């Protein structure tokens, strides 16, 4: 399996996916 | 307004936020230059011109990159202290009841920034020193060092997106 970090596009997409997870964590902490 | 009135706690807080943004742009600007411009362009550059990038542009860019990272984390910590939220952000808002969402957001952004800073100074830079020949290694070790530095740089590019969400969303929460 190729490392997703070898693709710039996949790197950026993973960055946005992580952001969504981060938003959920922030809401869970503040709830 | 007198000069003495201008240089208040609020002014210092503003000044450190300003320096923090300047240093942060220096750092992340170079990170994105490496990942969005230099690395994807290298295979297209004729073989005989590539040493120009490796010998002249890369060392200079890495200098601004790593010291930009250093200045960003120092000014960021001072800024959080001036705003009396250093403990709040380090504990990602969990130190108070109820938990403060803006401290959670900024705190996660700060921890991501701290991971990125450590990545720059303890993974990318030591491996780039081997890659650039500042540290003597075998050709195999050099290839491996370039690979590790490249992957670590990509990880930082990925982390920069949620990190900047944390840094800029404070007033939203």
Q: What is the mean pLDDT of residues B33-60?
A: 94
Distances (CA, A) of B158 to A9, A31, B14, B69: 10, 27, 29, 16
Burial bucket for residue B11 (CB in 10 Å: 0-12, 13-18, 19+): exposed
Report domain extents, chain A. Answer: 1-31
Interacting residues of B4 by C-beta distance below 8 A, sequence separation 6+? none
Distances (CA, A) of A15 to A12, A20, B154: 5, 9, 10
Q: Is the pLDDT of residue B2 over 80?
A: no
DSSP string, B128-167: HHHHTTSS---HHHHHHHHHHHHHHHHHHHHHHHHHHHHH
Number of domains in chain B: 1
Residues of A in contact with B151 (CB under 8 A): 3, 5
Nearest CB to A25 within list B108, B159, B160: B108
CB pairs under 8 A between A and B: 60
Residues of A in contact with B172 (CB under 8 A): none
Structural domain contains residue B173? no
Structural domain contains residue B107? yes
Chain segment B66-99, per-residue pLDDT in tens: 999 999 999 999 999 999 999 999 999 999 999 9
Indicate yes or no: CB of A23 within 8 angstroms of CB of B165: yes
Chain segment B120-149, per-residue pLDDT in tens: 999 999 999 999 999 999 999 999 999 999
Hunting for tokens 């929460």 — which residue is that?
B173
pLDDT of B171 reads 84
Chain segment A1-31, per-residue pLDDT in tens: 788 999 999 999 999 999 999 999 999 999 8
Residues of A in contact with B101 (CB under 8 A): 26-27, 29-30
Nearest CB to A5 within list B99, B100, B151: B151
Can you give the residue range of the structural domain that contains B109? 3-41+49-168
- The pTM for the full model equals 0.93
pLDDT of A14 reads 97
Distances (CA, A) of A1 to A4, A5, A6, B108: 9, 12, 11, 30
Contact B109, B166 (CB under 8 A): yes
pLDDT band per the 50, 70, 90 thresholds, residue B101: very high
Structural domain contains residue B16? yes
Nearest CB to B162 within list A8, A19, A29: A19
pLDDT band per the 50, 70, 90 thresholds, residue B172: confident
pLDDT of B78 reads 98
Collapsed DSSP state (helix, strand, coil) of residue B59: helix
The rounded distance, in Å, linking the Cα atoms of B171 and B71 is 24
pLDDT of B122 reads 98
Q: What is the mean pLDDT of residues B31-48?
A: 96
Contact B142, B130 (CB under 8 A): yes
């Amino acid at each position: 399996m190729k490392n997703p970090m070898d693709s710039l596009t996949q790197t950026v997409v993973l960055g946005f996916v992580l952001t969504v997870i981060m938003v959920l964590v922030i809401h869970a902490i503040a709830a | 307004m007198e000069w003495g009135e201008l240089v208040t706690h609020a002014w210092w807080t503003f000044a450190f936020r300003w320096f923090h943004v300047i240093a942060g742009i220096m750092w992340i600007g170079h990170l994105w230059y490496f990942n969005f411009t230099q690395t994807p362009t290298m295979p297209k550059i004729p073989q005989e011109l590539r040493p120009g990038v490796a010998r002249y542009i890369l060392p200079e860019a890495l200098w601004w990159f790593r010291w930009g990272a250093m200045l960003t984390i120092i000014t960021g910590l001072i800024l959080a202290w001036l705003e009396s939220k250093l403990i709040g952000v380090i504990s990602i808002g969990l130190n108070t009841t109820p938990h403060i969402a803006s401290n959670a957001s900024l705190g996660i952004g700060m921890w991501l920034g701290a991971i990125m800073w450590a990545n720059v100074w303890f993974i990318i830079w030591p491996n780039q020193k081997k890659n650039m020949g500042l540290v003597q290694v075998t050709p195999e070790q050099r290839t491996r060092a370039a690979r590790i530095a490249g992957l670590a740089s990509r990880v930082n590019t990925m982390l920069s997106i949620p990190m900047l969400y944390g840094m800029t969303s404070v007033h939203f929460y």
